Amino acid sequence: MAFDETEFHRLADETIETVSDRLDDLLGDTLDVDLQSGILSLELDSGEQFVINKHSPNRQIWMSSPVSGASHYDYDEDTESWRSTRGATTLHEQLSADLSVKTGQKIVLD
């Protein structure tokens, strides 16, 4: 990753805050959206949780999902997106797919 730690924090915080706001607008009645100290927790009525947070030492965003498990995302400067370290999926694509499975609604985070 070519950007410095300050830029990492800016990009990661901006991404997590944007996702939080978007999901609160889309699914605020379906799940509990809680953003505290840079950690985004999404709790479904079933008690299952998604957790999204930044991992500073690796300059990554990490996600824990009851659907796809744990995943890590590096920032891709070319596409300006957070890409999985295990494939071509972006954070937004994976979270959208997993939430769609759990809520039964088509979720698009772009």
Question: Which residue ranges make up each domain of the chain?
Answer: 5-103
pLDDT band for position 53 (50/70/90)? Answer: very high
Separation in Å, CA 50 to CA 11, 43, 79, 86, 88: 20, 7, 25, 19, 20
d(CA 24, CA 8): 24
User: For residue 66, what is the DSSP state?
Assistant: T
Per the CB < 8 A criterion, the answer to whether 45 and 29 are in contact is no
Domain over 5-103 is classified CATH 3.30.920.10? yes
Structure tokens at 12: 């990661």
Which pLDDT score is estimated for 52? 98
| Nearest Cα residue to 81 out of 110, 104, 55 | 110
Task: Reply yes or no on whether the pLDDT at 23 is more than 50.
Answer: yes
d(CA 82, CA 71): 11
Percent pLDDT > 70 in the chain is 98
pLDDT band for position 48 (50/70/90)? Answer: very high
